Amino acid sequence: MPATLDTIIIYARNPIATATFYCRYFDYHSSGIMEEGLITLSPTSSGTTLLIHQAAKSIKLGHAGLKLMFTVEDVEAYKAKSAALGLEFGSTHQAQGYCFSNVKDPDGNSISISSRAFRAAPESLT
C-alpha cells in the first residue's frame, strides 16, 4: 500500500494569524474554528491540506528544515498579486528553465513560489 503526502501540519504561535495568512495569500479556505487543537485549511482547487497547530513554547519556529513550495505558472504575476494584498516576496531567482521567489510566513517558515513544474522537459540522456 503506497503512502501519500496529503496534509502538512504547520506549528504557529498565533494559529488564527497563520491560518489567515495562508487563506489570504495562497488561496486556502477555512472556517477558522480550532477543532482538536487544529485549524484545517483546504485548497480552493487541488493541493495539499494544511493543519495549523498551536506551537508549544519549546518549539523553535522558522528553521530551515522545511520549505513549502507553491507551484505558480507566472512567478512575477503572482508576486504582483500578492504585493497588492500586502505580501512582498524577495528577488526572483532564475534556475534551469524556471524561476522562483521566497518569503516567510508569520512564524518565520520558509515559502517559495516556483514555476519549476512548468519548465520544459530536460532532454533524455539516451
For the 7-118 domain, the top CATH level (class) is alpha beta
Query: Which pTM was predicted?
Result: 0.82
Cα(16)–Cα(123) distance, integer angstroms: 46
The pLDDT, as a whole number, for residue 26 is 95
How do residues 85-106 score in pLDDT, each as one tens digit?
999 999 999 988 899 999 999 9
DSSP 10-32: EEESSHHHHHHHHHHHH-EE---
Residue spans per domain, the chain: 7-118
CA distances from 104 to 3, 56, 61, 109 (A): 29, 20, 11, 5
Q: From first to last of its 126 residues, what are the pLDDT tens digits of the chain?
A: 666 778 999 999 899 999 999 999 999 999 989 988 899 999 998 889 999 998 888 888 777 667 899 999 999 999 999 999 999 999 999 988 899 999 999 999 999 999 988 887 665 555
